[in-house]
A and B are shown apart, each in its own frame.
Chain A
Amino acid sequence: KAGVTQTPRYLIKTRGQQVTLSCSPISGHRSVSWYQQTPGQGLQFLFEYFSETQRNKGNFPGRFSGRQFSNSRSEMNVSTLELGDSALYLCASSSDRTSSYNSPLHFGNGTRLTVT
């Protein structure tokens, strides 16, 4: 079974621009969540989508948004980029089925975003 796939792997953007990151979950997984990882703050939860609906959101500004498509693939968008947005952005998926509610999250290898 293929794992969580994130594209692109690396991205360099300029302050003020916007960026879209893509995530394809493991086949059959309906829950997709996004995390930001920086050396100073560690791994922080951004938001989670299930059946095309945002179910939960972390403590990030409105510049960070996302969406999920009917095939469970998800995109994350960051508008008006700031230098502090430079980070590794990680996507994770889980099956989130009632019968296996303790199914673990499986992460992709992330997109490394550098804002200059």
Chain B
Amino acid sequence: GEDVEQSLFLSVREGDSSVINCTYTDSSSTYLYWYKQEPGAGLQLLTYIFSNMDMKQDQRLTVLLNKKDKHLSLRIADTQTGDSAIYFCAESMLSGNNDMRFGAGTRLTVKP
């Protein structure tokens, strides 16, 4: 199975909060990331969190890390239609240049 797991789909109404969840298996992960991919485009880094942090907030984005449960979440407050995209969770141990592992991505659909 995948080292990083995410639900494939999430649908919310405009103005609501979105919560995208991710679980990972490697307890030695050093950094955890959220990337956003808009249709037909590459991935854009949204935010990342170091493994010794529990939370990181950046404007409408809040990242929560539960290291004990190996659970990472991304909360988007006041979700807008422009937030519709695929969101990828990723982990890295920084043990080398090829160790970043991505989840399959969660497709967020924001309905007006």
Partners in one complex: no
Name A residues whose Cβ lies closer than 8 Å to a Cβ of B.
none
